[in-house]
Amino acid sequence: MTLKDKVIIAVVCMALGVVLSIQFRIVQGNKGALLPNQKSTELSNELKRVQEEKEGLLRELAQLEQQLTDFQNSASKENVLIKNLNQELDKYRVIGGFKDVRGPGVIVTVDNPPKDANFNADVNIVYEYELLLGLINELKAAGAEAVSVNDQRLISTSEIRSAGNAININAVPQQPPYIVKAIGNKDTLDGALNQVFGIVSILRDHRYLVSVQKQDDISIVRYKDVVKLKYAQPVEIQQ
């Protein structure tokens, strides 16, 4: 390569460098001039997007609040229904004997006479348990809403029967004294038991020790076993 060729190449390279430098400066200048407008457009678009997102969230919030209001109103109505159903269910649990209860009533204690020289071994309430049944029937007839004997709650399937030297109540042997609790109108219950020639008089004629106490607050526990129906089936009412 001759010196002339080298000079020509050097001049061309210099020219290209100058042109590239000028173009770079022009592009940079244009970019600097357009940047604020682009920035403004980007900010405007971002603001619009955020506003739309905010409006969407507000609409969703309004929908959720409406749903919550509807749910509360619906739940309130359901709670009233559920409350009424629970109250009705509790009433039948009390009637059936499957719920602890408390209230006014009477406490009756029946015991054998004290053992002494004149004590007759045949005088034993265990052998005359039908007198205890008569006492309970009088209480129920007088409006007793719950009855227990020695804390054995009486229900429709409860049995009271002699079993050796004890009385079986709910299949649990119970020895005297027998403490009968009954919840109801205490004056009515007391009057039914203590009427002339009533059950208390009969028990005392048989030499049993009987006391009747009116109480303002008596607690009776629920029936503690499980009732399993094997034969009785509910009957559906035909419309």
Of residues 228 and 214, more confidently modeled: 214
Residue 7's pLDDT is 43
Structure tokens at 63: 């929908």
The answer to whether 153 and 222 have CB atoms below 8 angstroms apart is: yes
Of residues 189 and 96, more confidently modeled: 189
pLDDT band at 190 (very low <50, low <70, confident <90, very high): very high
pLDDT tens digits, one per residue of 128-168? 999 999 999 999 999 999 999 999 999 988 999 988 889 99
Residues in a beta bridge with 5:
none
| CA neighbor of 210 nearest in space, from 132, 133, 145 | 132
Structure tokens at 128: 């005359």
Q: Coil, strand, or helix at residue 232?
A: coil
Q: What CA–CA distance (Å, rounded) separates 68 from 110?
A: 61
Structure tokens at 152: 């054995």
How many CA atoms are closer than 13 Å to the CA of 81, on its beta-carbon side? 6
pLDDT tens digits, one per residue of 65-81? 677 667 656 655 667 77
Structure tokens at 170: 């709910």
